[in-house]
Amino acid sequence: MKNAKRNILIFSGVLFSISASWYAWLIQPNQVRLETLQNQINTVFQQVEAATAQLQQFDDLRRRISVMEDSVARLERRLYPREKIPSILKQIARLGRRHGLEIFALYPKFDELLLNQSGSDNTSLAVLPVEIQLEGGYRAIGEFVGKLDRQRFLFSVVRMDLAMTRESYPRVRLILYGRLFLRKARQEV
């Protein structure tokens, strides 16, 4: 029986050493490779996520550029040639009268006509400062200024000076300073 116990112990020891060496030579390296592969997969996933985020940013920028180009195209369609200045000023005066405003003066400042405002020689933009003196009610003035932005021509209000006297109440006198954006003639560009 002693011999049997010893044989069982030897057999158990041999079996244990075989399984330990089998684990050390076969399973352990595969586990290390598996962990390495898992780390590489995680790295690739992170790179894919980063690339996807960059692609989304690129698509977002492309959409923004498209919106800006559409906006610029709409604004460019509102640029009239300089030859149309008299008719545009008449449209502004008619718009004011339509809102019940009395227009005292409409001064286009031709001497201050700003060509090449952006500083580059190849721009097709000309800017004409305009001063409008008018009188009317608050609501009529507000509607007039609001409608100026919705006209076919491109007019930007820069400043408004309001004045009211006891004699003119409830009417208000307004000096409106603005800029009329125009397209230069082809030979000027």
Q: What is the pLDDT of residues 8-54, one digit of tens each?
A: 888 888 888 887 777 767 777 777 788 888 999 999 999 999 889 99
| Integer angstrom CA distances of residue 46 from 37, 55, 93 | 14, 14, 63
Backbone angles phi, psi at 103, to 5 degrees: -95, 115
Are 172 and 141 contacting, i.e. CB atoms less than 8 angstroms apart?
A: yes
Maximum Cα–Cα distance for the chain, whole Å?
A: 133
First to last CA, the chain: 115
Fold that domain 80-188 belongs to in CATH: Alpha-Beta Plaits (3.30.70)
Query: What's the confidence (pLDDT) of residue 40?
Result: 92
**In the chain, helix, strand, coil percent, each to 5?**
60, 25, 20
186: confidence class by pLDDT, cuts 50, 70, 90: low
Say if residue 116's pLDDT is above 70.
Answer: no
Mean pLDDT of 110-123: 60
- Residue 131 pairs in a beta bridge with 107, 177
Task: Please tell me the pTM assigned to this model.
Answer: 0.61
Say if residue 189's pLDDT is above 80.
Answer: no
CA 90 distance to own-chain centroid? 34
